[in-house]
Structure 1
């Protein structure tokens, strides 16, 4: 395995990690901002008020995006990792 191939595989793995984590992070960000605004407007500073809805939304988005995440990982391994391990490159 050459250095160039290793760096390309690492770059591709990091990009896939960004793509897979983006939906969850975006939902957490939006939920945090919306709940923070509601707390600021109502002056209710309850810790569980931010935690429970954010976790519930993240679980829902994870459930919906699971197929996309799995497909991205399977494609990466079948097209990138397995040929290198098998000696194709």
Structure 2
């Protein structure tokens, strides 16, 4: 699970007709590591696929806080570069 602020959201449909939403999520937190405080930061793409998740994606806008639960996977871009993405299985708006 990862929480953070949506920085960008876009929707598209794959050639096979599957609806996708891609969120850019910014996570910031503070953790203890070896008994010392550590600032944690990451900017990661979150992919929501299928009708079950995309039925509510109209609500996702930049600036909103969300909790995302899912799994990590390696994705290769058109330029051949690999990147880590989070495939969402559940997304909840934080209030």
Q: TM-score, normalised by structure 2?
A: 0.20
Instruction: Give the structure with higher Rg (CA).
Output: 1
The structure whose residues are more often strand, as a share, is: 2
Greater share of helix: 1
